[in-house]
Amino acid sequence: MTEEAGKPREESLFEAPPMGEQERMVEAILFATAEPVTVRELEARMPHGCDAAEALVHLRKRYEGRGVHVVKVGDAWAMRTAADLGFLMQKETVETRKLSRAAIETLAIIAYHQPVTRAEIEEIRGVSVSRGTVDQLLEMEWIRFGRRKMTPGRPVTFVVTQGFLDHFGLENARDLPGLKELRAAGLLENRPPPGALGLGDEDDEDEGIDVDQSELFEE
């Protein structure tokens, strides 16, 4: 027993494994897990007394310059292919699902303005947002409901998910590219101002204009 701040502290009956072994444990968990894992989740799987955060520091350094990197996604960690080698995975990662232009615009607004209400999305787009557009993004788990806004009616807000960040290799929403980069990648087009489309218009997703997600979101 030791005294700290006047309170006894119990020593662990089991000694934590060496840091090298802890690093191997973290590596094994991240390698076998498809979804990003938080430090708390890592330590819950490891022996008592392990320091997953420190093990991650060593593991991340060891993978620097390799074909696979240890990356932070939100508040979790994962092993991902190095960005400059993404072209090698192109055939395996191309998806056949399609997003309408309305869905892409809505997703971009949420990503850049989160937390944002539906009314705010419509004000920015200049057209109303159909329920189908929001439902599609929710179903893909790229957006989720955020906290209600402390305004009359307490409208619900939308924010992007960890899955969205993981898909685009982002640590957080602050890492999103600028408008020039988005236009260069084909994610945004130089469209006329919203007023030219008619403020009372509905989403253009009902017009049958679909955009191939694999073309817009290249690795």
- Structural domain that includes position 133: 95-216
Question: Does residue 11 lie within any of the structural domains?
Answer: no
Same domain for 146 and 59: no
Provide the strand spans (E) within the chain: 2-4, 7-9, 37-38, 68-73, 76-81, 98-100, 116-117, 143-145, 157-160, 210-212
Residue 186 has pLDDT above 70, yes or no: no
Report, as an integer, the average pLDDT of 155-183.
Answer: 78
Whether pLDDT at 213 is above 50: no
CA 119, 125, 131, 136 dihedral sign is negative
Reported as a single tens digit per residue, the pLDDT across 36-51 is 999 999 999 999 999 9
Do both 77 and 159 map to the same domain? no
**Residue 183: pLDDT over 90:** no
110/189 same-domain check: yes
- For residue 14 the two structure tokens come to 């089991």
* Predicted confidence (pLDDT) at residue 27 exceeds the cutoff of 90: yes
Averaged pLDDT, 175-190: 59
pLDDT (tens digit, 9 = 90+) per residue, 57-84?
999 999 999 999 999 998 999 999 888 8
Is residue 158 domain-resident? yes
Q: Are residues 125 and 63 in the same domain?
A: no
Note whether 102 and 185 are same-domain residues: yes
pLDDT (average), residues 20-33? 94
- Residue 35 sits in the same domain as residue 134: no
Which of 45-54, 63-72, 134-143, 163-172 is least confident?
Answer: 163-172
Statement to judge: residues 77 and 106 lie in one domain: no
| pTM score of the predicted model | 0.47
Q: Is the dihedral of CA 185, 208, 167, 33 positive or negative?
A: negative
Q: Given pLDDT bands bounded at 50, 70 and 90, which one contains residue 92?
A: low
- The answer to whether residues 100 and 35 belong to one domain is no
DSSP state at residue 169: T
Residue 117: strand pairing partners = 157
Q: Average pLDDT, whole number, for the chain?
A: 77
177 and 127 co-located in one domain: yes
**What pLDDT was estimated at residue 185?**
54
In total, how many domains does the chain have? 2
Read off the CATH number of the domain in which 41 is found. 1.10.10.10
